[in-house]
Structure 1
Amino acid sequence: MTNEAVHPLRVDGLSYSYRLVRQPAPRTEPVLVLGGALQDKYGWQHLDEPVSPLASLITIDLPGSGNADPLRPDQGLATMCRAVEHVLDDLGVARVNLFGYSFGSAIAFAFAQRRPHRIARLLLGGVPAHITNAQLALWRQAAARMAAGEPEEFVDLALKLWLCQDESRFVRHRKLVHRYVKRLIMHAVTHIPHGFTVLDRSATEELNPSGGLTGVPALVFCGEHDTVSSPARQREFAATIEDSRFLTIAESDHWVALERAQAVVDLVVRFFTDQPLETADYLVTCEPARL
């Protein structure tokens, strides 16, 4: 794409970069996307075509993803938020439409709490709002298998955390997504030097997406069968955001961005251009987070 460029930056001693697909005559503020723990700046290219006619699109290799340096043990959400703000400053934009998914949703929410005046609209999907003790125990079991040099066993256990295992719940493209996620995680832990460390931090670090937010138009969504954090827990989280809305997308779990890719793209376009949400045919629920 002719208006695409990659810009290198540094934050807290770490090198990282962002990708910009520029729209010279935008209809809304730039759209900045923060994806899951392993997603780099090329992980959301399917948004290029639908978003670029409306707004500039920004994706980031945050520390730990893509070609960026990994976080040091003493660094965390504060560094990630500074990395996001440096991108806005480098572009010279006052506000963005911010979309955070999964691990990226925790970063996006933390940034919005710190810098609400820089957010035009906030879209959060698959929020890790509540991780149970049973989930943490299963992760530690999986991590032990990795430490023992058994990556395949690690991946099999990790999939039990991140994908809906209940066959009675219909999930679109279940087998295809299962194979893709398995390959993705296997590649990360066997070919990326810090791949397991990134996954471990995303699973065990207390991201704590709570504390409320005011003054930012917000929408929280998830797959109707999300098992990382249940829809009920994510709705409780959404209710801490003033005047926010919450919705669930049918026939999907935590990997709704793959299972219902077109639905998520449509949701991004609708929300960031203030179009009605209620008429979308992929919704199970769409309601104010506070009833």
Structure 2
Amino acid sequence: MPEETVRSLSVDGLRYSYRVLHRTGPAAGEATGSPATQVTEPVLVLGGALQGMLGWPQMDGRLGPVTSVVTADLPGMGSAAPLPPGPSADLLCAAVTRIIDDLDVPRVNLFGFSYGAALAFRCAQRNPGRIARLLLGGVPAHISPAQRAHWRSATDRLAAGDRDGFATLVTEALMCLDPDRYVARRDLAYRYVRRTMLHAVEHSPHAADSVHRSLGDRPDFSGGLSGVPALVFTGEHDTVTSAERQRAFAATIRGCRFTTIRDADHWVVLEKADEVADLALRFFTDRPLEPAGYLRSVPHQERAADRSTA
């Protein structure tokens, strides 16, 4: 069985914890010649607002043989202490830095998805020297007024005690339900996401606050970034923020590559879990992305990103 460690930390008096699944394959000094055995930096995964430390089994399975996988219940998530009122980006970045310090490593590979992409991007901007590589997925770089109105309707349902209605509206906001666009495992993903949202509001003390915070504490994707190898990916049918807008965001990161994954929407990490894990493995081990058949026009997109950030 892989060795797993859970450690507790605090930031500004708020208790939280992180989990380390220690490398299951050969150590770097015992490498057999395969490039995949040469990763020395752990991978720190930051997920959506309602995703905690136990929600990434596909990353454990694919990345575990080559590096340690770190997940967290940051303040305001899972079993951690609730966040105080007001903007939380600075505090959460401090919490991530504490994890890196506690790991006693100079740098980590950072993977941020959805809400976690905003946090990962902010952390990389503030302390690029601590980030070896940056992988961002499902980046909510632009949320329209109509989307915010939909989310407010969901929170109104929750405030009125209608948990089922809340779970339905949130799921609809996060998925592409257009029958003319094919999304793999759409029905299964819909049922899973809705059940997950319902479970969160029934069992997590922070679920309602997390949803309200996602409306009020708007992520900032401005300012650009340089000095950190980066890749942005999305499901080709992401309706939270379109692939085109995410490509435009990727162009603000110098040298960043961008790609889409076929037949998936914002919940690409669920609908195409193996493909996302494989993409992460390729990126964090500096292997070519091009041979992956699940990607959409990777070489052209990489060249476009390179031109726009030169």
Partner of 2:291: 279
Partner of 1:161: 173
Q: 1:1-57 CA distances to partner (integer Å, 9 max, x unpaired)? A: 342111110011110111112237242111111111111111112222321221111
How many Å apart are 1:200 and its aligned residue?
A: 2.1
Amino acid at match of 1:25: A
Name the CA distance, whole Å, in 2 between partners of 1:73 and 1:284: 41
Equivalent of 2:42 in 12, 15, 30: 30
Corresponding residue number in structure 1 for 2:94: 82
- Alignment correspondent of 1:255: 267
Cα displacement string for residues 191-226 of structure 1 (whole angstroms, at most 9, x for unaligned residues)? 222211112212442111221000000000000000
Contact 1:127 1:229 in 2 (8 A): yes
Aligned counterparts of 2:208 and 2:56: Cα–Cα separation in 1: 22
Q: Does 1:96 align with 2:108?
A: yes
Aligned partners of 2:239 and 2:265 also within 8 Å: yes
Percent identity over the alignment is: 54
Q: Does 1:181 align with 2:183?
A: no
Cα distance change of structure 1 residues 204 and 264 upon mapping to structure 2, 3 Å threshold: same
Matched position secondary structure for 1:6: strand
Provide Cα deviations, 1:53-109, integer angstroms capped at 9, x if missing partner: 211111111112221111111350111111111011111100011100011111000
After superposition, the Cα gap between the structure-2 partners of 1:152 and 1:4, relative to the gap in structure 1 and judged at 3 Å, is same
Asked whether the 8 Å contact 1:136–1:204 carries over to 2, the reply is: no
TM (norm. structure 1) is 0.96
Q: How many residues align?
A: 291
SS of aligned partner of 2:116: helix
Say which SS state the counterpart of residue 279 (structure 1) adopts. coil
Whole-angstrom CA distance in 1 between matches of 2:172 and 2:22: 39
Q: CA RMSD in A?
A: 1.3
Aligned positions of 1:1-291 closer than 5 A: 1-23=1-23, 25-26=27-28, 27-28=38-39, 29-286=41-298, 287-288=301-302, 289-291=305-307
Given that 2:125 and 2:225 are in contact with CA atoms closer than 8 Å, whether structure 1 keeps it comes out as yes
Separation (CA, whole Å) in 1 of partners of 2:255 and 2:205? 42
Encode CA deviations 1:164-197: one digit per residue, 9 max, x unaligned.
0211100011000000100111111222222111
Give the 3 Å change call, closer, same or farther, for CA 152–2 of structure 1 in structure 2.
closer
- Counterpart contact for 2:167–2:195, Cα < 8 Å: no
SS in 2 for 1:276: coil
Q: Which amino acid in 1 is paired with 2:21? A: V
Partner-residue secondary structure (3-state), 1:129: coil
Given that residues 2 and 22 in structure 2 are in contact (C-alpha distance below 8 angstroms), is that contact kept between their aligned partners in structure 1? no
State the shift of 1:276 in Å: 0.4
Q: Which runs of 5+ in 2 are unaligned?
A: 29-37
**Structure 1 segments unaligned to the other structure (5+ residues):** none
Closer, same or farther in 2 for the Cα pair 1:58/1:156, shift >3 Å?
same
